[in-house]
Structures are given as C-alpha cells and as structure tokens.
Amino acid sequence: MIMSYPDPDEDLLPGFVPEEYYSPYRDTTIDEPVCTGCGQRPADIPVYAQLAADEGITPDEYVRRKEGTLNPRNGHFLCDEDYIAAGQPVGEHGTRWVAP
C-alpha cells in the first residue's frame, strides 16, 4: 500500500490570506497624507481632488485607497508630477516604491 503523506499546505486555513498580502495602504489610519515633493495635501492637488470627486470620496481617502507611493507609516506620498520629477522610482526587485 502506498502511504499518502499529508499535503504540507493543508495546514493553512481555507481562505487564509497572509496579512502582508493585503495592500498596506488600504486600511491605513493615516489622517493627513502629504506629498513630500511639493508639500501639498491631496485636496490642494487638482488631479486628486478631481479623481476623488469622481469617486465620491474625499481627496485624502482617495490617496489612502489608491495612491501607490503612499507610505502607510507616515502618510508621505509623491503626487504624479513629483513622482515623474523624481525619475519614477521603483522599489527593490520591482516592488512598489513608497515615499520615505
């Protein structure tokens, strides 16, 4: 008889998703994101104000949900203009870059 050994992955709970899988900025409690390039808050940056209005959310909320450069630890991000001015940095090994 062939012994079948348990699949080592079976220990994982069904539907279990490692915490780091979640987008780190989606549930952040940062109150006041700020662009470290121009020092402006999202509401002061027309493109964010417009995109947020289109989605029916506040500019801060828009940045918390969608801005890829937002650092969840300190609320720093780069607006599109400053990100381009910074040379469109990418993280190590092609990971997402966040503002320091």
Contact positions toward Zn ion, by CB under 5 A?
35, 37-38, 79, 82
- Spatial separation of the C-alpha atoms in residues 98 and 17, rounded to whole Å: 23
CB nearer to Zn ion: give 6 or 100: 100
State the nearest-atom distance from the C-beta of 15 to Zn ion, in Å. Answer: 39
Helix axes 59-66, 46-55, angle to 10 degrees: 90
State the nearest-atom distance from the C-beta of 12 to Zn ion, in Å. Answer: 41
**Segments of 3-88 assigned E as strands:** 34-35, 76-77
State the nearest-atom distance from the C-beta of 59 to Zn ion, in Å. Answer: 13
CB nearer to Zn ion: give 35 or 52: 35
CB nearer to Zn ion: give 18 or 87: 87
Integer distance in angstroms from the first to the last C-alpha of the chain? 59
Angle at 12 between CA 27 and CA 4, to 5 degrees: 165
CB nearer to Zn ion: give 12 or 84: 84
Q: Which residues pair with 71 in a beta bridge?
A: none
State the nearest-atom distance from the C-beta of 20 to Zn ion, in Å. Answer: 28
